[in-house]
Amino acid sequence: MDSTTLDVDGSVMEGGGQILRVSAALSCITGTAIKISKIRAGRTTPGLRPQHLCGLQLLRDICAGSLDGAIIGSTEITLAPGKITSGNHLADPQTAGSVGLLLQASLPCALFTDASTQLCLKGGTNADMAPQIDYTVKVFKPTLEKFGIHFDCDIRMRGYYPKGGGEVLVTVNPIKQLSPITMTERGTITKIYGRAFVAGVLPYKLAKDMSTAAVRTIRREIKDLYINIPSLQEKDQACGNGNGIIIIAESSTGCVFAGSSLGKKGVYADKVGIEAAEMLLRNLRHNGCVDEFLQDQLIIFMALANGTSRIRTGPITLHTQTAIHVAEQLTQAKFTISQSDDDQTNKPTFIIECQGAGLSNPNL
């Protein structure tokens, strides 16, 4: 192994796929070769699963690098990046592995190409334990625009567990340098909306029940806003059977939050709606500017930005702590976290501040 290869312990902190995604993306961008060991060591099925392998192969292709040890079940890989180039790339784990997580891994690298890049991502668009594609489009994307990042998502086909079969075409525009962001004032919640869906053979009534239960739950705390959660039956543009709901809240200062839930066999539809509503409400009570799921996804972009970024959040998640750990290992970025009690809610909020590494795109 080359002496300049950086060792990354895949078992620390969150100890899952996130360490892979963040470290491999930053490896490609910084040109630093990495060896990741003890991959997903604490999981019931340790090592690479199909979606992790597919994400690593996608990154290898974007940066014309070499990837060793990348097979299903492997607990150690080495990635030696080459030059990041634009082009058309396909990632298909042939499972219901999350399209949103494939995008999390590949988007940062695609920003450092010389021209527009197309990513054809296949798998599960609405998968458990991962951001639904609707979250990516409605929450993640508008927040990234504050860094100067622009990408488009064309949802060609939705795919659900266990079949997958979804397809999203993502077009990413390169950027010379990311701008820092400041998100410390939430303002007031001005809009709540969403979508409740059924696909395949599942009855339309499930979508209506999810929506009705969600609206009823939110109404108990937020009485003065119109809540619009239409019920949708997905037909031609869905592969397999599935049901779920996502509810989005927007604030007067441009902050976006979401709560979501997917149906499971034996779980009543109204329970799915209530779970999504309670998730949203939980993330609105602390008066932070990002929800618990966006928090960690912003860390890599704050680390890359040129200048000081500041975001106000609720309780710091383990995923966020892990992303900060990896970002500081692979870049010159420096993070600090400070607590500030919120006068309105009497709940603690936290300021994540980052002096970004200010990496420039050498291809532009």
Whether 286 is catalytic: no
CA angle at 10 for the pair 7 and 13, rounded to the nearest 5°: 120
Q: How far is CA 230 from CA 65, 192, 201, 215, 244, in A?
A: 45, 12, 19, 11, 12
Give the integer Cα–Cα distance in Å for 15 and 1: 24
Q: Contact 360/176 with Cβ under 8 angstroms?
A: yes
Q: How far is CA 107 from CA 97, 149, 174, in A?
A: 17, 10, 10
Catalytic residue among 52, 286, 319, 325: 319
Q: Contact 149/158 with Cβ under 8 angstroms?
A: no
Nearest of 280, 265, 237 to residue 125 by alpha carbon: 237
- Token code pair at residue 233: 């039956």
Amino acid 316 reads I
Number of Cβ atoms within 10 Å of the Cβ of 154 = 11
Nearest of 61, 174, 49 to residue 120 by alpha carbon: 61
Crossing angle of helices 205-219/269-285, nearest 10°? Answer: 30
User: So which residues are the catalytic ones?
Assistant: 319
